Amino acid sequence: MRPVVILHTADLHNRLSPAAARQLKALKQEHSEGLLVDAGDAVAAGNLGFRLWGEPMLRRMAEIGYDGMAMGNRESHPMRRVLERKLQDASFPVLAANLVGKRQAAPEVVRGQVVFERGGARVAVIGLAPQMTRPGSVWARVTDYVFEEPVGVARRLARELRGTADLVVCLSHCGEGIDRQLAAVEEVDLVLGGHSHRDLVWREPGSALVVHPGWHGSHVACTELTSREDARSVLRPLEAGR
């Protein structure tokens, strides 16, 4: 199997510069057999807000050629109708495997995982969102969705996907602490994270590589792997100009 290249950003907060966008698009074209993903909080709207005229960052990400993103707290909303409107500009899957609909299903753009065919390899990407509303909480009585504990969800899905996928990747907006726990799951080959606003490439013996690419479009992580053991990553600075 040829090495799979995965480019990833996180916590853009609608601050990706035009120059950085061009740089990302060029990198995506350079690695045409790779993936470009985001680990959440790409938009500027708050957890309970949304922009009446849509999300410019989601449109920009579509133009760049993103293949998918994890749902961050900023992409979430407790009401289904607002969530659908908030994500209307996403032309790629918004992944949240631990989101559970109580009254109705999530919008079609929201999925738990996607299996990509890249360079002869099947790459399963599991998206994980922070627990905005926990099952059994007071707020769960009035929301359309709850968010299950992410590590248990990832463990179950990774075991299911392991039989058919060559690589299993967790794309997480759960923060560094949870990401280190995800890396310890035996069936997970790589953890691409966000939410903690860190520049981080970390591995503990016996664990998968954990990568965080900074925030506000400061860096893109360029990760290459054929297996859990040989994953390696470099954080490349993104341009801040026009």
Q: Is the overall model pTM greater than 0.75, yes or no?
A: yes
CATH homologous superfamily of domain 4-237? Metallo-dependent phosphatases (3.60.21.10)
pLDDT of residue 45: 78
pLDDT of residue 61: 97
pLDDT of residue 227: 95
- Are 106 and 75 within 8 A, CB to CB? no
pLDDT of residue 218: 96
Using CA atoms, how far apart are residues 20 and 234, in angstroms rounded to an integer? 17
Query: Taking the domains of the chain in order of start, what are their residue ranges?
Result: 4-237
pLDDT of residue 241: 65
pLDDT of residue 138: 83
pLDDT of residue 119: 82
Length of the chain (residues): 242
Beta strand extents in the chain (DSSP E only): 4-9, 35-38, 68-70, 94-95, 99-101, 110-111, 113-118, 121-128, 145-147, 167-172, 190-193, 199-202, 209-213, 219-225, 232-237
Ranges of residues in the chain with a pLDDT under 70 are: 49-52, 241-242
pLDDT of residue 137: 86
pLDDT of residue 31: 95
pLDDT of residue 76: 93
pLDDT of residue 7: 98
